[in-house]
Structure formats: structure tokens, C-alpha cells
Amino acid sequence: MALKLPIYLDNHATTPVDPRVVEAMLPFFNLQFGNAASRNHAFGWEAEKAAENGREQIARLIGATAKEIIFTSGATEADNLAIKGVAEMYREKGNHIITMVIEHKAVLDTCKRLEKYGYQVTYLPVSKEGLIDLDELRAAITDKTILVSLMYANNEIGVLQDIESIGKVCHERGVLFHTDSTQAVGKIPFDVQKMNVDLASLSAHKMYGPKGIGALYVRRRNPRVQLAPIIDGGGHERGMRSGTLNVAGIVGFGKACEIAAQEMPTEIERLRGLRDRLRANLESKLDEVYINGSMTRRLPNNLNMSFAYVEGESLLMGINDVAVSSGSACTSATLEPSYVLKALGVGEDLAHTSIRFGIGRFNTEEEIDYVAERVAEVVSRLRELSPLYEMAKEGVDLSKMQWKAD
């Protein structure tokens, strides 16, 4: 069977929409196109019915009830709504928020904005494995703390926080717990009841659904969470998020959740197998490669590796028939290396050499083997070009070098 190039291995950035999801969505563009809020005719009723069905499917995947699902344009908006919504609503109770240094920018930048408005934010550090310390969390909570926001799965290194224990700590202290579960939902089991979660951000396009639709889970019982909206208007979504519902998107999102629920157990094993195979292949072909973040508490489909002495962007350029991403500064618009890798204590030189592989539903074993070979080939070639590799082989201690940088 011929390999279809280029190969897509960047499934943390986005995923292709599952053909079954596309099929489910299509009628809602030009056949069942009504506005779900049109109460007075069949076009509206059928749109509403489709939206409610989608809501059910999403709720079921995460152990919630349909009334607890608020639709947004994506996880970024959900993060904004959760954090700003709680901050405003619970301002009388307190003004302190706790999060961590490796959160997605959608959480970090939202917190930075709140700091400008006089809120206090604690950014918990992480260990070399990428995990927060529960005792440090306990110590950080004060009587002014109104929210803890800690992501379940990190988008760069795939590391999983101990959400269940974190939720327990928060509930003991009467603090709301929000988790950005974008990278975890549909990939690994996530149950808001079992994990003591009060708010959770979800996104469709990370789980084989369409871009432009996400949701915020908002707990209604024990406790009942209240949110100030960040978008005002027609009062949709119980007043929490105005704006006409993206019915086609919701239908797609729902279908993606239904598929995920059915296929998760087998998919987890298959993707973990592919990930482990990729890792083993690379480690057998190359020396001085390092995994970033815990391998035991990790998404089954994520591999984040540093290839010493080879810069990330030049590596990506060399494997131009494979789509992955890098933590190198050269690949970011701001020329800053990955802050997540930095927080793990990965030296800046190694941060520039990191590659993130995100394996997905449509990747095959053949593709994995091809990628391993290409990566090994290009790394070897670039090491021949690398003055650092040359110096290391000569026995120079690079950490003791005095560099002439401008």
C-alpha cells in the first residue's frame, strides 16, 4: 500500500475531521439550516433538537448532564469564560486565582489580564516531569482564593496532572476547580464527577471534530457554579453565552464525542503502541535523544523528544514530508523557545532541539516507521553540519563554553 505524503503527525495542533462527522454535519448547512433559537417554526425546532442532541452526546462523554454544557467558539473562549466569569461573579468572596506555569496561553494570558484588574494570581511551578506538587497547591490556597485552574493534559508534552486529587483538595477548601481538558477529552477517560471538576474547557477540533466549536462544562450541583458572561446579547446558553448556536458545528462535535466514547478503549491501546514504536525506533537509531516530561503520566499518543546538537526548525525543514512541530525559538513568531520546556528545566539549547509528535486516529504503523527513518536520517545529516556535535565528540564540555553571542 503506497504511503500518502505528506504525513500528518501534529494531532495536538489540530485533527482532521472524521468522515463520519462530516457526514453528520452536512445537512445542517443548507437543508436543516434553521436558527436553534427560532421558537415559532419547524426550521427552528429541528435545529434546536439537533443542538440538544449534540449537547447530550458531549455531556455523556464527560459524565455531565446536558444542562451543564455551554457552547462556545472553542476552548480558548471556554477558558476565558471560565476564568473571567468566575472572577467577576465571585469578586466579593475573593480575588485570588491559582494556576501553573505550563498552562496554555488561553489561561495564562487571561490570568495576566485579570492581574491588571487587581486580581492576584499564583503560578505554581512544575517538576522536571511536568507535574505540580499537591502540597504546594494546598499551601497556596488562601481564604481569598476563588478559583484553581489546572489543565488535565498539556498540549506540548502530553503530561497529565492528577486531576482527581487536585479536585479533592479544592473541594475540601471550598474553591472552584476549572480544568482545561481540551487535549484529554475523547482521548482518555474524563469524568467530571469522579474527578471533582467544577468547570472544564473542551474543543471539537482536537478530537476529530470541526474547528470553531467548543464547550464549557459548568457544574450545577454540589456546588452550583455561577458565571458572569463575557459575551452579552440575546441571552443564549442560560445567559452565559449569547450568540446564535453553530448548529452544524454542534452536531459535528456531538458526533465526534459519540465516536470517541465508542472507540476510546481500542484507540488508546493502538495509539500507545504506535507512540512506543516510534520512540523505540528513534532510540535504536540515534544516540543523545531525550524525552521531555513524564512518560508514565502522559497522553498515550504524545511524544516530545529533544535531539541534541540539532536545531528544531532545521530538522522540520529536512523532514518536509512529515508534519510535526518544535519547541525551538526559530519556529515561533516571537523567537522565544518553548516556555513549557523551560519550566521543566530543559536547558535552552535542548529546548531548541525538541520535536513534538502527536499521533492520531488516521496514522498507520507504516507511517510511523517511515517517519522514524526520515527523522533519523535528517538528524544524522544535520549532526554532520553541527559544530556542537563536533565539539561534543571531541570531548568539549559544552556547558562550560564561553559563547560569543550578541
Partner 1 sequence: MAYSEKVLDHYKNPRNVGSLPKNDPNVGTGLVGAPECGDVMKLQMKINPETEVIEDAKFKTFGCGSAIASSSLATEWVKGKTVAEALKIKNTEIVKELNLPPVKIHCSVLAEDAIKAALADWKTKRGADEPAERAQASAD
Active-site positions read 330
Residue 57 or 338 with smaller CB distance to partner 1? 338
CA distance 336 to 330: 8
User: At closest approach, how far in Å is the CB of 351 from partner 1?
Assistant: 8
Residue 286 grid coordinates = 540515534
Instruction: Return residues touching partner 1 (CB under 8 A).
Output: 309-314, 317-318, 328-331, 333, 335, 337, 347-349, 352, 384-390, 398, 403-406
Q: Give the neighbor-by-neighbor strand order of the sheet with 302-307.
A: 289-291, 302-307, 354-358, 325-326
CB 336 → partner 1: shortest distance, Å? 10
Q: How far is the CB of 353 from partner 1 (least distance, A)?
A: 9
Q: Supply the minimum distance, in Å, between the C-beta of residue 390 and partner 1.
A: 6
Look-up: residue for cell 439550516? 33
CB-CB contact of 315 with 298 (8 Å) = no
Q: Are 379 and 315 in contact (CB under 8 A)?
A: yes
CA-CA distance, 402 to 171, in Å (whole number)? 51
- Least Cβ distance, residue 233 to partner 1 (angstroms): 37
Burial (Cβ within 10 Å: 0-12, 13-18, ≥19) of residue 27? middle
- We find the least distance from the C-beta atom of residue 289 to partner 1, in angstroms, to be 16
257 within 8 A of 187, measured Cβ to Cβ? no
Q: What is the CA radius of gyration of the chain?
A: 22
CB-nearer residue toward partner 1: 196 or 354: 354
Identity of the residue, 161 or 325, whose beta carbon is nearer to partner 1 in the bound complex: 325
- 121 forms bridges with which residues in the sheet? 97
Smallest gap, in angstroms, from Cβ of residue 132 to partner 1? 26
